[in-house]
Amino acid sequence: MITLVEPTNSILPAFNRINYTISSDNANLSGFKYVVKVFNTANELITQAFYDSPANPADSVEFDVSKFVSVNFTYSSGFYQVATQASNTNVIKGYYLKCYEYYEVAGVFQIVSASEVVSATKYALAASLPLLEENSFAADLSKYNGVSNTSYLPLTEWTTIKSRETDATVLGFINTGLLTNVELLVTYANATTATYTIAVSPNPPAVVPCVTYFQITPLTYGGSIDNIQLFANWNNGLARRAKFATIYIQACGKFDPMRLAYLNKYGVYDFFNFDLVSKTSFSVEKKGYERNYSGSIYEADGIRVKNINPIYYTKETQSWKIISDYLTDSQAEILRELYSSPLVYMNLVNDNYITPSWIPAKPTATTYEVKKTSVDKVFNIELDLEFQLINNRQVI
């Protein structure tokens, strides 16, 4: 008989270890193996794995399914969207296990179907947490899924957000069917206020748990806004309300800010504006070969010199150096995720040759120093970016 010990939480970071342990009172049989089948919530088989019985059959076997459940995420939502709110399962996927014993029956080694044990359904979130943060996220999960009575947090570390009035900030929440709306308390430059809500629709979403995204563009709520305080409203048996962030409106400056969207550790996008001067440059790589020629170095017309070192490969890469405004200690700490993020998009709006668009970019820095005002007084960061696009030229 199989005994399966499962992770405690129902929502798990998919790019960290997701460990189960399995044991059986038949593990001492000759040739015994454990068979683990991983299914998605559409009951489709993702993979099947065999695990040998340990040297001491009484010991349990630990196995990690993260590599099996972290392969079908898509990251197209959350940095650019037209809808004010939308829900989907792009970065949260359900799965479950079926476990069996494998041993010899009537002279034939086989999977013993009568030994089947089915796990509870768990949900893999496209999160990749620093190792020392795994336990705190597991302990604080109730703050992210609506179980808490005092907090409902989006999937971001940013609580103070700076944006232009035309910037769309998109915030993603784990939604288990308890989230009702996001409430906006708008304070205008003349100190008057107004309250707006962005409701979850449909409520609950068609599939839960999911991630519900809210797009907040300040200009939608009028001009001359000073700040917008953001509150989550949810119902886990009683109506709850809690503040989770404030958006401060950035005044027009001398330079057009460069806005980046980057995939954070939770699997959704964070945003940051680099406010100061930006510089662009192009690096060119060329490869040629030496061509033999006969006769004169001149062509037959006696005017043109023969091309004896033609170029067969040319690559042009555009790069940017962008500079932030002065940072706080907390901003400097959170921004380290930008440097290691596998997906970064740059909102390019002031280039003379490129239609305004979100363009994939790659930070080229390999180190990042977290500065503090107690030591560095005031500080900002300079970030070098390459477009993840290669412009090729003619082959000669």
Cα 337-338-340 angle, rounded to 5 deg: 65
146 and 206, same domain (yes or no): yes
143 and 266, same domain (yes or no): yes
Q: Can you give the pLDDT at residue 374?
A: 72
- Within-domain flag for 86: no
Q: Which two tokens stand for residue 1?
A: 């008989």
Of 21, 19, 96, 23, give the one whose Cα is nearest residue 65: 19
111 and 149, same domain (yes or no): no
Q: pLDDT tens across 173-212, in order?
A: 999 999 999 999 999 999 999 999 999 999 999 999 999 9
Lowest pLDDT segment from 18-27, 162-171, 339-348, 376-385: 376-385
Q: Can you give the pLDDT at residue 353?
A: 58
Of 273, 196, 186, 183, give the one whose Cα is nearest residue 226: 186
Whole-angstrom distance, CA of residue 371 vs CA of residue 382: 13
**Which DSSP letter does residue 189 get?**
T
- The maximal CA–CA distance of the chain, rounded, in angstroms, is 93
3-state secondary structure of 329: helix
249 and 351, same domain (yes or no): no
Query: If pLDDT is split at 50, 70 and 90, which confidence band does 117 have?
Result: very high
What domain range includes position 222?
134-255+262-270
Work out how many domains the chain is built from and give that number: 3
124 and 139, same domain (yes or no): no
- Within-domain flag for 302: yes
- Which residue intervals of 61-176 are DSSP H helices? 66-69, 134-139, 142-145
288 and 316, same domain (yes or no): yes
Q: Is the peptide bond before 202 cis (omega within 30 degrees of 0)?
A: yes
- Within-domain flag for 37: yes
Q: pLDDT tens across 43-66, in order?
A: 999 999 999 999 999 999 999 999
Average pLDDT for the chain: 92
Residue 140 is part of a domain; what is its CATH number?
A: 2.60.40
Q: pLDDT tens across 293-328, in order?
A: 999 999 989 899 999 999 999 988 888 888 888 888
Global confidence as pTM: 0.89
Per-residue b/e over 49-80, b at no fewer than 16 CB within 10 Å?
A: eeeebeeeeeebbebebbebbbeebeeebbbe
Whole-angstrom distance, CA of residue 354 vs CA of residue 352: 6
Q: Can you give the pLDDT at residue 366?
A: 85
Q: pLDDT tens across 81-103, in order?
A: 778 999 999 999 999 999 999 99
Q: Can you give the pLDDT at residue 356?
A: 64
Q: How many CA atoms lie within 13 A of 68 on its CB side?
A: 21
370 and 303, same domain (yes or no): yes
Residue 73 is part of a domain; what is its CATH number?
A: 2.60.40.1930
